[in-house]
Structures are given as C-alpha cells and as structure tokens.
Amino acid sequence: MSIAIIQYNAGNVQSVLYALQRLGIDAVVTADPEQIRSADKVIFPGVGAAGTAMDYLKKNKLDKLIASLKQPMLGICLGMQLMCTHSEEDDTTCLGIFQVNVKKFVKPQNDHSLKIPQMGWNTIYQLSSSLFEKVPENSYVYYVHSYCAALSPQTIATTDYTTPYSAAIHKDNFYGVQFHAEKSAEAGARIIENFLKLI
C-alpha cells in the first residue's frame, strides 16, 4: 500500500510520518502530482495559517489536484479546515470539498477558564463512521487550534469547546479530523489504522 503525505508550507509532516512508522507503515512526503494521484491513500496535514497555506496550494496547483482525488484522503487540523468552504482566518476561500465554514472560537463572556487556542486533550462523541471503528465514545484526542468547523450534515464526530463543533467530517472519499490524530495516543493510532483500511 502506498501512502502519500502532501508536502506544502504547513507543518506537522514529521509527526505524521512518525505515527505511520509506529504502525509499521512507510509513506512518501511529496508535492509531486503524479505521486499523490497514484497513491492508495493520501494524508493532508497542516499547522499554520489558512491564508498563506491556500496561497501556496494555488500557486503550486495543488488546490485543484486535491479536490480531484478519488482515493481515501485524510485532512488533519489545518488540512481539514482547508478542505472546507471558507475560513474566517485571513478571510480565506478554501477548497470547498466540505460544505461548511470555519469560524474562530468565541470565548463566552464571564468565563475565564477557557483559553484560545484550545491546546490539549478533549473528548470526541457521536462517532458515526468506520473511521472510528473500535474507538470508544468520549475518547480523548489532542487539539491545538483557534478555529473550528461548524456542525453540519457532514459531521461524523463532535467536540465541545466554547460550543459544539465538528471534530471530524466526511464526504465521499474525503475525511477530515480537527484533532491531531498522530499525537492522540491509542485513539489516534486506531483512527489512522482505520483510515488505512478504507477502500
């Protein structure tokens, strides 16, 4: 099985590589369209700002390539957000794969306990996809983000932080997780394994 990790100007590629290696899986990190198109599975990671990331994707024609893929593809954190329609971060028009907008967390008035960005462990629930096979409801996963995708018919997992939002979304061959599956211990490893089993 060939796995392509899309290389662009957004981080966490190495941590995704290490997570796959822990599962005994080799992957190639590439921006080459043919390598990406021919891979059995594609992972679209990301840590950074939506605007600069989308500018890079467009400049290198990766935006059209990503949207045209037919094999299972997993967006992680910023990668998932860039697969949505629009992000409030830098007022960015994104890839439009998922019909959902990405908004900045709004801190509730008089609640000083919640910090933005959300950094650390939180639970996922209402799991409704084979991506979460053998992942228990209310499992803890690891987050670092200030923006989130709203709930929608494409939501396949939910998390609460200032408001309920999409922890994961799915449409056709495209999957996205807001949390860092590669840093989410046993639950994250199971989710990555489940993604690699998708047909």
- pLDDT at residue 52 tops 80: yes
pTM of the model: 0.95
Instruction: Look at residue 178 in the predicted model and tell me its pLDDT.
Output: 98
- Catalytic status, residue 145: no
SS3 for 12-46 is CHHHHHHHHHHCCCCCEEECCHHHHHHCCEEEECC
Q: Which residue has the tokens 């959902």?
A: 100
Instruction: Look at residue 114 in the predicted model and tell me its pLDDT.
Output: 84
Distance between CA atoms of 45 and 136, rounded to whole angstroms?
24
Residue partners of 50: CB distance under 8 A and separation at least 6: 78, 81, 82, 87, 89, 90, 92, 94, 102, 147
> Which is it for strands 28-30 and 3-6: parallel, antiparallel or unpaired?
parallel
- Angle between helices 185-197 and 13-22 in degrees, nearest 10: 80
Q: Please identify which of the residues 84, 86, 182, 186 carries the catalytic annotation.
A: 182
Q: Is the dihedral of CA 170, 38, 33, 45 positive or negative?
A: positive
- pLDDT at residue 109 tops 80: no
Q: Return the closest-CA partner of residue 54 out of 12, 96, 104, 15.
A: 96
**CATH number for position 114:** 3.40.50.880
As for how many domains the chain has, the answer is: 1
Instruction: Look at residue 144 in the predicted model and tell me its pLDDT.
Output: 96
Q: Please identify which of the residues 88, 137, 180, 193 carries the catalytic annotation.
A: 180
Distance between CA atoms of 10 and 107, rounded to whole angstroms?
26
Give residue 132's domain range: 3-197
E strands within 128-191?
139-145, 147-149, 155-161, 163-171, 174-177
- Catalytic status, residue 84: no
> Which is it for strands 73-76 and 41-44: parallel, antiparallel or unpaired?
parallel
User: Is the backbone of residue 49 left (phi > 0), alpha (psi -120 to 50) or beta?
Assistant: beta
Query: Among 42-51, 56-65, 108-117, where is mean pLDDT lowest?
Result: 108-117
Query: Among 19-28, 105-114, 128-137, 186-195, where is mean pLDDT lowest?
Result: 105-114
